Structure 1
Amino acid sequence: MTLRSRLILTLGLALILLWAVAAVWMQQNLHRQMEATLDDRLAQSARMVAGLVSQLPQGALDRGGTGELFIPAIDGLACQVKSARGEVVARTHGDLSGVLEPDGAGYHYREQEGITWRVFAYETQNMTIVTADRAADRNDLVAGVIRVAAVPMMAAIVGSLLFLWLAATSVLHPLNRLRDMLAARDPDALAPVPESGMPPELLPMVQTLNRLLERVNDAFTREKQLTDDAAHELRTPLTVIKTHLQLAAKLDDPHSKQQSIAKAQLGVDRLHRTLEQILTLARVEGGAHFTQGNQEPVAAILQRACEAAGVSEGQVSLSVADALGRRRVAMPAELAVTVVRNLVANALTHGESLQPIRLEVHPQGDAIAITVTDQGPGMAPDKLLSLTDRFWRKGQQEGSGLGLAIVSAILARFNGRLTFSLPEQGGLAATVVLPVTAPGIP
């Protein structure tokens, strides 16, 4: 069953139920009102007769045995006038003496020969007047009024259902338009769904769908980028490894064979490092989950990063205040270590081997700034923007060309910043701004 059918069926049944309840209430209320109106007519008839009789000359009601007067009868209505002495002075129906016999003032029901009458007795000082009408005539009158009222009510119900169908069709038109739009799309299409003209109720769903399509498109783009990166960067080391292994297989000299195998091993190590860097970059850019609970102090991050970068004694000059060293970096320790390690490794690779690199930590607002400065030859200012590009290398330097790209991706994910500058004394300074927890928070 379609959504429109369910909506029309539910609202239609509710509407019919409400109309039915209203009809029952109206019928009962109308019946009571008609009964009260007809009772008032009986009472007014009796009082009118009493008023007319009271204007007759004195003694006019004393028939003196001459017999009762017969008033011309009206079908369905009966009347009787009785004197204070109990004599019937006038009546409309002689055969309804049992119905018109007074039995106390007020309203009563009487039945004679299977016909029910509604009776009203009105007593004055000189007479008792009884009026009556048939209950069947009353019921016919009430039924007729109800039939007259039922026709427009049925028309209103049918009209309401028709209007409900038209309204449901109009209200659900944007949803049907969205359905047709999605059904007509190519299964491989990742373009966003147009949001113009969408009602506020559907707009969040369309926006969520567009965000999902954007994430899928980004995932496909990253997958293609990963494939392209692997194909681009792994081709050379694989060729070198294959060449050295083939050469080793052909050499007879043990020393030369061992040298070729050692060079192949170096190629394997470089290939392993490149694969690790590519996979790390894919994890960071792909939104992989990293546990937030293992946050560590700044001092521990710096120590682990230097150890991971293979720093020897005297290669790093560290400057960090104790208060800053105890602050915890507000990001997974694994990624924080990767950021600092890549900066230190980059500085060791491009700096002067005889000069130590400087590693300085200083506060910057609610965050901390870590600056890694090498003593190398530096680079042209126009090349600074290329440092975070994938596989960009300075000259023929060793490395995968992904270290700073990984740093940039991690900082972008955790609201950090990476900047480069050229100190006056030479070299290159790389500064990262990392979020930290508030003081006193473990």
Structure 2
Amino acid sequence: MILLALALVVLSLYYSFQAARHEIKEVYDARLGQTAKLLLLTTSVSATTLADEAHQHQFDQWMNSIRRLSAADDDKDTTYGHPYEQNILFQFYQHDRLLWSSNKQVGPLSPAPTFAGFGNRDIEGEQWRFFQLHATADEYVVVAEKHSIRQEMIDEIALSTALPQLILIPALMALLIFLIDKNFRPISELRSAIAQRSAHKLDRIYVANQTLELSPLVDTLNELLEQLEQAWQREKRFTRMAAHELKTPLTILRLNAENAINSETRHQLEQDLDNILKGIDRTDRMLHQLLTLAKVESITNVHKQPCELKTLLQSVIADLAPLALRHHQTLSLEGDNVTIDGDEVLLGILFRNLVDNAIRYSGDHSVIDVVIKQHADGIDVTVSDNGANLSDETRDKLFDNFYRANTEKGDGAGLGMSITRDIAQLHNASITLLPRTQDKNTFRIRFSQA
């Protein structure tokens, strides 16, 4: 590509140089023609006038003075004219006879009396460019210039026209290449950095001296890489959690199945089958919690819409009422039907976990109260039960993943409170286990006022 550009530049310069030479030649030819016309218009071409020795002597004296004064420097002008006048020749002819010449050392230039116009002649090894113009059929004038000096001036003028391009265009090309390289180097670095990224290498991209236009792209890519890293970590964490948490239930299911196969009485068989069903229920609940946690952790932005809290809580309590009746528990809901902005499905999971935990761990014949209270700072939803007091260790670890305070009653993976906490944070809410009062354990969800 660079070689092609250089070839085009050279071709362009060559064309410019040749075009300039052609135009300058035309200018010089025009000058020859105009000079010949002026000579004929201002000079009486007669044998008497042109053959006058006084006129010839005066002209020769001028030329000799020019040669003497410019002997050291032929580019220096004098009071009698310029040394380059020796390169210009005027000749007058009559009846094919040379009457007068501005330079006697040069022979006749006219090729023929009938010739007219421009021509080139070689006189004693010197090329001349001439123009012959007739005043009458027998009288004419020849104006000529040395080809060497003419070509020297043409080349100098043409070169002075092309030389700036010869310098400027390569300089501009070099500058353009430098600027392109400078501006595209960050893109090349970015491409290389992206090529180095993989599922096991999702660290942030750094581009040295990145341009203003490239900066938003790098920032967006880094945000995407961060999201991919988080998703990858969630996937690995879910795999580890599933492998760890399912190992024990599956082992127990296998033992119960083996016991059922080897049972000797119907009562033992029914007991083993009942244990298998309970194990399946525990495993199902555990898988449900693991999948719910993975789903909640993958959410970054919640699509919020108006939700009526009391209506939502009534639905949650209605779903869990059969479980509460089994334990002879009392469920109550108080408060106004206030509206908040949130994801109804996620909020349903949050409240269901809290009420479900209260039912499972508060014991038989317990009382579970759900209260909605609106105040100046926002909206509080509290879930209280009169179950056993929670130890300090349980209070400290309650929101940790896989923490189960009561392994005898619990049949989950210890993720319910972690899920509840994450959903609350997605709604800019806080969840707190309040100090025990009136022999009640109380969880408070506080939604800030919009």
Q: Give the alignment's TM-score, normalised by structure 2.
A: 0.65
Amino acid at match of 2:331: V
Cα deviation, 1:108-166, whole Å, max 9, x if unaligned, reads: xx436899757999xxxxxxx98944596756632343246646744655565556556
Conservation of the 8 A alpha-carbon contact between 1:118 and 1:134: no
CA distance in 2, matches of 1:46, 1:135: 19
Q: Which moved more, 1:42-51 or 1:225-234?
A: 42-51
Q: Map residues 4-43 of structure 1 onto 2, 5 A cutoff.
A: 9=1
1:262-341 maps to which residues of 2 (within 5 A)?
Answer: 262-287=274-299, 292=303, 296-310=307-321, 315-322=330-337, 324=338, 327=339, 329-331=341-343, 333-341=344-352
Range 140-149 or range 405-414, more displaced: 140-149
Deviations 1:167-224 (A, max 9, x none): 65566555556666677x6966426256373524555555455444444443343233
Distance 1:39 1:163 in 2: 42
* Alignment of structure 1 residues 158-307 onto 2, 5 Å: 158=170, 161=173, 189-190=200-201, 192-193=203-204, 195=206, 197-200=208-211, 203-287=215-299, 292=303, 296-307=307-318
Q: Which segment is superposed worse, 11-20 or 258-267?
A: 11-20
Q: Is the 8 A contact 2:202 2:228 kept in 1?
A: no
User: 1:275 Cα deviation (Å)?
Assistant: 0.7
| Corresponding position of 2:387 | 376
- The whole-number CA distance in structure 1 between the counterparts of 2:50 and 2:171 is 67
Identity between Structure 1 and Structure 2 (%) = 22
| Corresponding letter in the other structure for 1:111 | F
Root-mean-square deviation over aligned CA pairs: 5.1
CA contact (8 A) 1:222 1:282 kept: yes
> Which digits, 9 at most, give the CA deviation of each residue in 1:226-282, with x for residues without a partner?
233223322333333333333333334334422332232122111111111111111
Instruction: Classify 1:99/1:334 alpha carbon distance in 2 versus 1 (closer, same or farther; 3 Å).
Output: farther
Please, which of 356, 359, 366 is the counterpart of residue 354 of structure 1?
366
1:371-424 alpha-carbon deviations (Å, 9 max, x no partner): 222223342456434221112122333141111111122233444332221243
Q: Give yes or no for the alignment of 1:424 onto 2:431.
A: no
Which secondary structure state, in structure 2, belongs to the residue aligned with residue 420 of structure 1?
Answer: strand
CA contact (8 A) 1:330 1:434 kept: no
The change in CA–CA distance for 1:118 and 1:144 in structure 2 (over 3 A counts) is farther
How far 1:31 sits from its partner (Å)? 7.0
**Secondary structure at 1:310's aligned position in 2?**
helix
CA–CA distance in structure 1, aligned partners of residues 420 and 342 of structure 2: 16
Aligned partners of 2:114 and 2:389: how far apart in 1? 127
Structure-1 separation of matches of 2:401 and 2:353: 14
Q: Which AA in structure 2 matches 1:351?
A: S
SS of residue in 2 equivalent to 1:265? helix
- CA-CA distance at 1:338 after TM superposition: 0.6
- Structure 1 residues 379 and 16, CA gap change in structure 2 (3 angstroms): farther
Partner of 1:386: 397
- Whole-angstrom distance in 1 between the partners of 2:310 and 2:342: 14
Q: Aligned letter for 1:388? A: F
SS at match of 1:422: strand
| Counterpart for residue 56 of structure 1 | none
C-alpha deviations, 1:315-357, integer Å up to 9, x for none? 33222324x1xx25322x2212111111111222333633232
Indicate the residue corresponding to 1:406 in structure 2. 419
Task: Give the CA deviation at 1:285.
Answer: 1.3
CA 268–135 in structure 1, closer or farther in 2 if over 3 Å, else same: farther
Amino acid at match of 1:190: K
* Whole-angstrom CA distance in 2 between matches of 1:206 and 1:33: 57
CA–CA separation in structure 2 for the residues paired with 1:337 and 1:65: 127
Aligned length: 396
Q: Structure 2: any 5+ residue segments left out of the alignment?
A: 61-84, 103-107, 122-127, 135-139
Matches of 2:31 and 2:353, distance apart in 1: 104
| In 2, Cα distance between equivalents of 1:275 and 1:94 | 115
Unaligned runs of 5+ in 1: 1-8, 54-59, 82-87, 102-109, 122-128
| C-alpha contact (below 8 Å) 1:118/1:135 kept by paired residues | no
Amino acid at match of 1:372: V
Note closer, same or farther for the CA distance 1:178–1:253 as it changes in structure 2 (3 Å cut). same
